[in-house]
Structure formats: C-alpha cells, structure tokens
C-alpha cells in the first residue's frame, strides 16, 4: 500500500470515528477533534470546564469506539500516589507462605480519565509524571511498562474555584493540548434535554482497534 492509499484509508477511518462519537456526544466538535489529534499524535489532553459538560462521557465513548480499556480516577485532596499507581500487598500462597504481590492501580489502562486533577495535592499529581512521559510506572521497586496506546485525558475546574491546586509547570508540560470546554449552544442543549427526558441512548460501535492506532 502506497502513502496516498494509506492517507485515504486513514481519512475514511477518521471520519467514521467522528461520526460514531457524534452519535453520543452532542456538539463540542472542536473538543472531539482536538482529543483525537492528541490520541493519534501520542499526546495527552487537559480539559478545563465546569462539571456536567460531558467530559467523562467523551472518554467513555472513546474507549468504546476505539476498543480500549478505560479507567477513571476521581482526584481528591486525600488521594495518595499509591492509590493511582498500585502497591505491594501481602498475599498467602497455596502452600501457606506469604509473599508480596503487586496490585495494579487504575493507571494501568489504555484510556485514563483523571477527573478534577487539580483537586489533588501536587504530590499526588506528580504520580502521573512518569507515566505520561515514559509510558511506564516505577512502583514496588520495579519499572512496569504501560500497555500502549496510553492516553490521559485530565479535567480541571477553573482555578478560581475553592479547593483547587494549580498544576505544576512540569505537569502542564506533559499535555499536548489544553482545551476549554464551554457551554453548549441552544440547539445542542435542546438535543441533550430531548435525549435525557426521552431516555434515548444511541448505540456506538467499535470503529478502530488499538493496533490500528499504534
């Protein structure tokens, strides 16, 4: 397959992907496009906006149409790095002995939603740095590779809201884009209300596999 055929094939797959996401996500075309660009470019995305604008639904929909595993971490002030990365725990073996076994944290997924990341302390936010840059995690004395593709979509509340911590410069540097999620327009809001009140749920289908993305 020559380069021109590969480009044509990718454009067709991309349009199918946009159409499938559009079945579930109403409006936010620029946000969807920016997120897809970051995924195909091997980067991560920081979304800023008030709660309730469909950020979580976007990531869940992406995991379904791209056939990738999905985890969500709700960042809170008392969250610790081990809650994200995982930790060693003592397990009893069949022969009665005890040994340490590593229990993976929620970061071990293809798509990770770091919800309200700026509600956690900088110490906890720093647990994401190695994973986002090196695609690996150092925990329990070992370096553990994350399965690719690995994509972080983090959300943050506007910094003037109470109980938030500004993201460190090193953390911001890990993001490909910062996208501002605004309120939907009147037509999109009407469609959201119609779907919500009628209980209508669009069924999305898998469009692309992990291997195709890589």
List the chain domain ranges.
Answer: 3-77+108-213
C-beta neighbour count of 89 within 10 angstroms: 10
Read off the pTM: 0.81
The series of mean pLDDT values per 10 residues for the chain, 214 residues long, is: 86 87 80 88 87 76 84 90 86 78 88 88 84 85 87 82 76 88 79 74 72 81
Q: Name the CATH topology of 3-77+108-213.
A: Rossmann fold (3.40.50)
The β-bridge relationship of strands 142-145 and 136-139 is: antiparallel
123: closest CA among 167, 173, 178, 61?
Answer: 167
């Amino acid at each position: 397959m020559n380069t021109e055929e590969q480009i044509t094939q990718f454009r067709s797959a991309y349009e199918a992907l946009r159409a499938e996401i559009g079945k579930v996500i109403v409006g936010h075309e620029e946000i969807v496009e920016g997120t897809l660009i970051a995924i195909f470019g091997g980067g991560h995305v920081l979304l800023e906006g008030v709660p309730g604008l469909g950020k979580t639904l976007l990531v869940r929909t992406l995991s379904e149409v791209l056939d990738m595993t999905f985890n969500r971490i709700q960042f809170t002030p008392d969250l610790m790095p081990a809650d994200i990365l995982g930790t060693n725990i003592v397990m009893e073996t069949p022969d009665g002995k005890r040994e340490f076994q590593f229990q993976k944290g929620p970061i071990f997924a293809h798509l990770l939603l770091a919800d309200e990341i700026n509600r956690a302390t900088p110490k906890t936010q720093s647990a994401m740095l190695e994973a986002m840059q090196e695609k690996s995690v150092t925990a329990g004395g070992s370096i553990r590779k994350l399965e690719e593709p690995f994509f972080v979509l983090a959300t943050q509340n506007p910094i003037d809201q109470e109980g938030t911590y500004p993201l460190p410069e090193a953390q911001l540097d890990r993001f490909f884009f910062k996208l501002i999620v605004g309120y939907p327009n009147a037509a999109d809001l009407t469609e959201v209300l119609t779907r919500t009140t009628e209980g209508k749920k669009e069924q999305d289908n898998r469009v692309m596999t992990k291997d195709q993305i890589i």
